[in-house]
Structure 1
């Protein structure tokens, strides 16, 4: 039989890796080659759970995709930003504030970052079903089967084993979190393509070189496919901001608020931000590929008190159990509010807003 034809896509050429000496975060590197078996997950449990209790961030390698397959996804990720005409972009722009959903394009300069400076970030967000709940611009349509396969790989080959490991760490049945994240269940998990563009020197000075303020993510788990433009920084346990280093064909994985709520604070939603890249990468755009995981919409974000671990170590809550929002309520509230609503200044660093009774902090 003839080999299937691969749809042509222009190759995206990223910036060279920085040569500057930066203070890198010392994140654990997790080999996921054995995560598909119960024995392999048992061996990884201590390492993964320690990472999620301390940094809340880690790298995953040997996740099942080759470098060439990952490069192909980055080529496809550039299509919405380079191959879609402006008028078509507008037709597919998400009503983020009105619906609390990111499906479609998020244009540049929608969000206020600081001191009147607006963002220079474009996004294209696809519901993980790809074709089930939204239509797509013409230029992207030939690649929808590949996007669907990529979403399934992230969800079933990476997310599910990770959720099983996190359940093990709480001494809960392995399927505890998996049942809250069915691929075909109602939730708003996104495959996100995201492009940061350089800013003016005036905007850099006004915003103190911060492109996105320090924050925690909305959902349970975020999967970021490593790319070479250094900009992501995490707030380490000692309070210092450190850079996340690029590793070829690796994932950078972190815990979000929803998992912190469900785990009673056992797993940490780590504060992270996006900073202007180092000098030798300034002037380049920064293309990212993400899988933002949201639990099923009806999941109530309160601690799993049946966990023997939580019964031993105690529970840390950000909201009382009887007032805990559902995943849908929290996701819609935070999505609609981010960069589009006023924040209350708590001190010189922290700004805060309430989302369904939950205090959400931003770090300037």
Structure 2
């Protein structure tokens, strides 16, 4: 049989991993080899649920994608930034504040980080269906079938087993959370390609080396493909910021606000930030691939009180159940406001804004 051919694309070469002696976060490494079976998920449940109750972050290995497939998606991920002419890029810029959606391009310098310093990151976002709700620049069009295959695999073989395990941890029917995440729903579970660019030293000083303020994610589960430029840090339970270490062909997975709300605080949305890379990686671009899981648009983000676990341990709320926003309300409200709306300073570290009655904090 003939071997299927794929469109050619320039190979993206990552910088080498840092050799600096950094304080790394101690995160569990979860082997997903058997996550496709109920028996395998039952074995993984204590490990995954403990991670999501404590650090809120974990690594996943043996998830079914090869290193070659990993390399290929990073090659494609760089196309929107290196192969799309500036004039064409402008036609696909998302009006984030008006629409509450990231679909399309987010250009650099639209968010204020601190002391007048604006961001130096671009991202390109597409609904997981890839072609159902948006069109794409010409340079990306040859790769749309591969992007669709990638989102289908990520949704069905990675996100769904995670959701099934999290439901098990609450002693709910295994598909409880998975049923909230229909692949064909128009909610903003999306694929993101993102690229950070170095900043002038004077901006680093003004922004205290922070590239993206400390925050929790909007959705339920975030899947990040590990890449070697160290910049991601999490706020650990002891109050210290620690670095996320690169592991070849691993996934970095974390819980977002929406899962914290649905789980009544049982699972934790961990605060994380992006800062200037260590000395031996300064001056490098940082390319990322993400899959941001969100519940269906009409899911109301209130605790699943039918959980026997929540009935035993109690519920931690950030708002009254009868005032719980829908997934679409919370997502669009936070998206439209981020970096574009004023924040209320609570102290020297914390700034806050209210989104559909929910206090949302940023950590600087």
- When normalised by structure 1's length, the TM-score is 1.00
TM-superposed deviation, 1:2: 1.9
Residue 106 of structure 2 is matched in structure 1 by 106
Q: Secondary structure at the match of 1:191?
A: strand
Query: 2:90 — aligned with what?
Result: 90
Query: What is residue 216 of structure 2 aligned with on the other side?
Result: 216
Q: What are the superposed Cα offsets for residues 308-357 of structure 1, whole Å, 9 maximum, x if unpaired?
A: 00000000000100111000000000000000010000001100000000
State the partner residue of 1:323.
Answer: 323
What is the Cα deviation at residue 4 of structure 1? 1.6
Q: CA deviation at 1:69?
A: 0.4
Q: Map Cα deviations across residues 117-165 of structure 1 (whole Å, 9 max, x no partner).
A: 0000000001000011100000000000000000011100001111000
Root-mean-square deviation over aligned CA pairs: 0.5
- The separation in 2 between residues aligned to 1:61 and 1:110, in whole angstroms, is 35
Q: Secondary structure at the match of 2:166?
A: helix
CA distance in structure 1 between the aligned counterparts of 2:338 and 2:206, rounded to whole angstroms: 20
In structure 1, the partner of 2:64 is 64
Q: Separation in 1 of the partners of 2:191 and 2:198?
A: 23
Where does structure 1 differ by over 6 angstroms across 4 or more consecutive aligned residues? none
Does the residue aligned with 1:208 lie in a helix, a strand or coil?
A: coil
> Which residue does the alignment assign to 2:253?
253
For 1:161 and 1:133, how far apart are their aligned partners in 2?
Answer: 26
Matches within 5 A, 1:130-149: 130-149=130-149
Q: Tell me the distance in 2 between the aligned counterparts of 1:290 and 1:122.
A: 13
* 1: CA distance, partners of 2:11 / 2:117: 32
Shift of the alpha carbon at 1:97? Answer: 0.4
Deviation for aligned residue 1:186: 2.6
TM-score by length of 2: 1.00
Give the corresponding residue for 2:234. Answer: 234
Instruction: Report what 2:27 is aligned to.
Output: 27
Between the aligned partners of 2:240 and 2:9, the Cα distance in structure 1 is 41
CA-CA distance at 1:3 after TM superposition: 1.6
Matching residue of 1:155: 155
Aligned equivalent of 1:116: 116
Task: Deviation per CA, 1:241-287: give whole Å up to 9, x if none.
Answer: 00000000000000000000000000000000001000000001000
Within 5 Å, give how 1:1-364 maps onto structure 2: 1-364=1-364
Deviation track 1:25-56 (CA, whole Å, cap 9, x = no partner) reads 00000000100000000000000000000000
Instruction: State the secondary structure of the residue aligned to 1:143.
Output: helix
Q: Distance in 1 between matches of 2:287 and 2:27?
A: 22
Deviations 1:178-233 (A, max 9, x none): 11001112311110000000000010000000000000000000000000000000
SS at match of 2:124: strand
Segments of 5+ residues of structure 1 without an aligned counterpart are: none
Question: 3-state SS of the aligned residue for 1:300?
Answer: coil
1 CA distance for matches of 2:225 and 2:153?
Answer: 13
Q: Hey, what's the Cα distance between the residues in 1 that align with 2:352 and 2:81?
A: 32
Deviations along 1:45-79, one digit per CA (max 9) or x if unpaired, are: 00000000000000000001000000000000000
SS at match of 2:211: strand
